[in-house]
Structure 1
Amino acid sequence: MTTPRARSFGTVAAEYARHRPEYAESAVDWALEPVAGRPDRLLLDLAAGTGKLTGALLARGPVIAVEPDPPMLAELRVLFPDVDAREGSAEAIPLPDESVDAVLVGQAFHWFDPERALPEIARVLRPGGVLAALWNGDDATVEWVRGYHDAAGLIGLRVRDRAEAGLHLPEHPAFEASEHSAYPNAVHTSVEGLLATLATHSWALVAEPADRDAALARVRDYLATRPETSAGEFELPLFTDVVRMLRK
């Protein structure tokens, strides 16, 4: 997580915590299903950010949170003062060998260096433990959602586009083959809420301010023309995608 885009989120840590969506509860359950019967299981929230996934995990067992960005980690510690939160990265996890039953990664696996991160994740996982990566993404099958992406001029594949092609994690000899599942995760928001969420995305954070503001203005203008969103408040159709694989 060393690229400028990966390190851009700390500049908006409080806004990230306020505006980014939670993950579907059923998605978290599916991610942890392989270790559901383990007593006293210990969960690692890796690249935990401000703790968007941490809260859901706390309802399911003790959690250690690891995050490389100091401002994001500071926000997590404010929101979850009782969580063991440590500075570290996927490529250098500050935990001993075979110390956790599950490693969960929310909205961050694509920032990892898999050649370094997968051996390190395998090192801290107990045999039969699970690695699960989760992403929230707009449902790109919905016409007005595609329209607002086009209005903004967003570049790159959306999570749901990738999911339709089959999301997977890189192969590694320490892990079984990955498997994917997806869960609806619509959120109630508003035009202002959606714009605030978009402003926490990496494309907006690394863009020139004038370019970012112009993109957000185009989205505002587009949403004003759509019957689904013109009233100001609406349901944004999201999915939580999960890819998991077992430690051999």
Structure 2
Amino acid sequence: MNTDDLGRRVADDVAGAGGLDGLRRLSGVIAALEERRTGLVEELRRGKQATWEEIGRACGMTRQGATRRWTGRLQARSFGTAAASYQHGRPGYPHALIGSAVPREARRVLDLGAGTGQLTRLLVDAGLDVVAVEPDEDMRALLAAYAPRAAVRAGTAERIPLPDGSVDAVVVAHAWHWFDQAAALSEIARVLTPGGTLALVWNVRDESQPWTAELGALMRRSTRRRIDTAPVVPAPFGAPERLEIRWEHQTTPAGILDMVASRSYVIALPEAERAGLLADVERLLATHPDLAGRERIAMPYLTRCTRVRLG
């Protein structure tokens, strides 16, 4: 039996008599198969067992099609290899964010793509009942350790492990750009209560100071990606409310090095290039007149939040 015949037989078995139940079953299996396929692509690429050309042919795609489909997802799944650097180097969020990201009447909140819990801890400390969903096992282990009062669960934005209408608000901190946004919006709408809110949050380095501008230039040497921190969120969500907060993250030279090392595009660099970038950052921290000899450094940030209400 060839693979096409096998695929049709499996699809027919799963769909059964059809109808909405058959469609739900088939959709669930398709999502699980796609997740498994992505896992296989990740294994092949990390082990350098196959080129993008070979992967494309195996999937019935061109090399360019395979690269477009999976490069971003593989970068998103790379954080676990630098989970400790992520935890140490990434900033938290200003306390003023909570009142804007989460409505006063909200009680149960989902932190989606929670990472190692930079925002989770702030939500818990605000007295909220928090569920934190994170797909990466290594990140999730640190999340559970650093935010023990949150309910930590494995899952993705495209397949949220919660029942319908079970949370009053969803927050996504510095992760929205990694999601399949159409699938994620459908899932977020499903788990929200009627009138619930979605808040999309990013920390953006404020490069108005000479040393932060130089740091940014070094980091951009390795990526062309630009993140939209004021996204348009379509129906069934309403008009956006936007907020920007200026604040400073108190850190150290080692913390800044870890912040750089935890970037997905830095993790993905060839080892020699990655080491060269980190050496250049270390040199900047040691020699710039605004930084030389300092044990504590105030890193200026802009936290941007877009909040929308369901329906």
From 107, 116, 136, give the equivalent of 1:50.
Answer: 116
Matched residue of 1:218: which SS?
helix
CA contact (8 A) 1:168 1:179 kept: no
Query: What residue is the counterpart of 2:259 in the other structure?
Result: 197
Q: Give the fraction of aligned pairs with identical amino acids, expressed as a percent.
A: 39
Matched residue of 2:235: which SS?
coil
Q: CA deviation at 1:174?
A: 0.9
Query: What residue is the counterpart of 2:144 in the other structure?
Result: 77
Q: How big is each residue's C-alpha offset from its partner over 1:195-215, in whole Å with a ceiling of 9 and x where there is no partner?
A: 122111111111111101111
Which runs of no fewer than 5 residues in structure 1 stay unpaired? none
| Cα distance change of structure 1 residues 157 and 28 upon mapping to structure 2, 3 Å threshold | farther
Query: More strand by proportion, 1 or 2?
Result: 1
The whole-number CA distance in structure 2 between the counterparts of 1:175 and 1:133 is 13
- Which entry has the higher C-alpha Rg, 1 or 2? 2
Query: What residue is the counterpart of 1:90 in the other structure?
Result: 157
Matched residue of 1:221: which SS?
helix
The whole-number CA distance in structure 2 between the counterparts of 1:224 and 1:90 is 40
CA contact (8 A) 1:10 1:72 kept: yes
Matched residue of 1:11: which SS?
helix
CA contact (8 A) 1:47 1:66 kept: yes
From 71, 82, 89, give the equivalent of 1:12.
Answer: 82
| Count of residue pairs the alignment pairs up | 238
From 187, 196, 208, give the equivalent of 2:270.
Answer: 208
Q: CA deviation at 1:194?
A: 0.7
CA contact (8 A) 1:101 1:125 kept: yes
Q: CA deviation at 1:158?
A: 6.2
From 167, 174, 193, give the equivalent of 1:126.
Answer: 193
From 38, 43, 63, give the equivalent of 2:130.
Answer: 63
The whole-number CA distance in structure 2 between the counterparts of 1:15 and 1:171 is 31
From 213, 221, 224, give the equivalent of 2:283.
Answer: 221
Most deviating of 182-191 and 104-113 = 182-191
Which runs of no fewer than 5 residues in structure 2 stay unpaired? 1-34, 39-72
Which structure exhibits the higher relative contact order, with contacts defined as CA atoms closer than 8 Å and separated by 6 or more residues?
A: 1
CA contact (8 A) 2:89 2:257 kept: no
CA RMSD in angstroms comes to 1.9
CA contact (8 A) 2:211 2:288 kept: yes
TM-score by length of 1: 0.89
After the TM superposition, which parts of structure 1 deviate over 4 Å for at least 4 consecutive aligned residues? none
Q: CA deviation at 1:168?
A: 2.6
The whole-number CA distance in structure 2 between the counterparts of 1:111 and 1:158 is 12
